[in-house]
Amino acid sequence: GESVGLHLPTLSVQEGDNSIINCAYSNSASDYFIWYKQESGKGPQFIIDIRSNMDKRQGQRVTVLLNKTVKHLSLQIAATQPGDSAVYFCAENPNSGNTPLVFGKGTRLSVIA
Amino acid sequence: GAVVSQHPSRVICKSGTSVKIECRSLDFQATTMFWYRQFPKKSLMLMATSNEGSKATYEQGVEKDKFLINHASLTLSTLTVTSAHPEDSSFYICSAREHGHGNEKLFFGSGTQLSVL
């Protein structure tokens, strides 16, 4: 089902450290997952995606890990920078095809300079 | 990546007026677009699925007569908030999916902040 949280959890990280943002998804049939970054007053920006037949995917400074056994997704950001400060959402595609994504509740990342 | 343009980015209107928000896919065709609503410090809530050439599909609890959606072409969907009231004040975001080779990424517009006085 759709997970919409009441409060945004916050993660504070020192500049240069690695960040790990976690997400629990609800539908075991979901086969596609995306991480989005949303800065204040803007629409979400695509960061990285992963299909259910993979358990890890790397991009530039970001890595997504998928654990289907416990329905858990994580986003790792290496050498976190002030520009990484934003709200991060995971999203799942519960059905193959042209269906809307279901968004997680989001995590606010604050980078301390 | 694909570009979705949303306009206006910010609108302030008086209670009782109607506001139209446009969402355009600039470099791809989108037979389906999605409209989301977001309250401060909250996640995105799907309002409706906009289908080109047919009626939109609304999520439970979303008034279709209040939030009129028109998807007249493969690159344009509009959301009209009719007879707006202060409780309609929110951040509205449209999105579209670029299809091809199993690509299921949703690309988002920049959002519209609606403030109803």
State pLDDT tens for residues A23-49: 999 888 888 999 999 999 999 999 999
Question: What's the angle, vertex CA A57, arms to CA A56 and CA A60, rounded to 5?
Answer: 140
Q: What amino acid is encoded at A42 in this protein?
A: K
pLDDT band, residue B1 (cuts 50/70/90): low
Task: Name, in order, each residue with C-beta under 8 angstroms of B55's C-beta and a sequence gap of 6 or more.
Answer: none
Yes or no: say if B48 and B58 are a contact pair by the CB < 8 Å rule.
yes
3-state secondary structure A42-96: CCCEEEEEEECCCCEEECCCEEEEEECCCCEEEEEECCCCHHHCEEEEEEEECCC
pLDDT in tens, B48-100: 998 888 889 999 999 999 999 998 888 999 999 999 999 999 999 999 987 65
Do residues B38 and B47 touch, judged by C-beta distance below 8 A? no
Model pLDDT, residue A95: 73
Average pLDDT over all residues of chain A: 90
Q: Over range A99-105, report the average pLDDT.
A: 86
Torsion angle in degrees (nearest 10) through CA of A23, B106, A87, B63: -100
Choose among A3, A42, A102: nearest Cβ to B111: A42
> Chain B closest CA to A25's CA: distance in Å?
14
Among A90, A93, A103, which would you mutate to test the B interface (most chain B Cβ atoms within 10 Å of its Cβ)? A103
Q: Would you call the peptide bond into A44 cis, given omega within 30 degrees of 0 as the criterion?
A: no
Alpha carbon of residue A70 to chain centroid: 16
**Do B1 and A46 lie within an 8 Å CB cutoff?**
yes
For A104, the closest chain B residue by CA position comes to B43
Q: Among partner residues B32, B44, B110, which is closest to A103 by beta-carbon distance? A: B44
pLDDT for A93 equals 86
Dist. CA B7–CA A43, nearest whole Å: 12
